[in-house]
Amino acid sequence: QVQLVESGGGLVQPGGSLRLSCTASRFTLDYYVIGWFRQAPGKEREGVSGISSSRSGGLQYYADSVKGRFTISRDNAKNTVYLQMNSLKPEDTAVYYCAADQTGRGRLQSLQFWGSWGQGTQVTVSS
């Protein structure tokens, strides 16, 4: 199982930006599909964005709620996947998790096939 660590969360005003990082110490993240999910209090965990491995084209995909505002990317030299979040809204407030899928079957619409998860990082958007 891949051990993932997220960082970069914090408190930001509406309209502001944050960049989240997801890294692993003993595994090469580029071997996996990496996804970002979030969970707000009292709500189910939902998919935000995902990126395929470089050998699969590094395809990026996004939930409709974040399209045009969030960007996912890889830095393979640093073994890190980033989620750049711009134009943040109060409704983006949640704990954000990164997840790894070794099967290539993971989708943002379901938690199935996402076999490894980080501990989460809190993002709070408030004035």
The answer to whether residues 118 and 98 touch, using CB atoms and an 8 Å cutoff, is yes
Render pLDDT for 57-88 as a digit per residue (tens, 0 to 9): 999 999 999 999 999 999 999 999 999 999 99
Q: Which residues of the chain have pLDDT under 70?
A: none
Give me the pLDDT at residue 77, please: 95
Give me the pLDDT at residue 104, please: 86
Give me the pLDDT at residue 2, please: 79
Give me the pLDDT at residue 11, please: 98
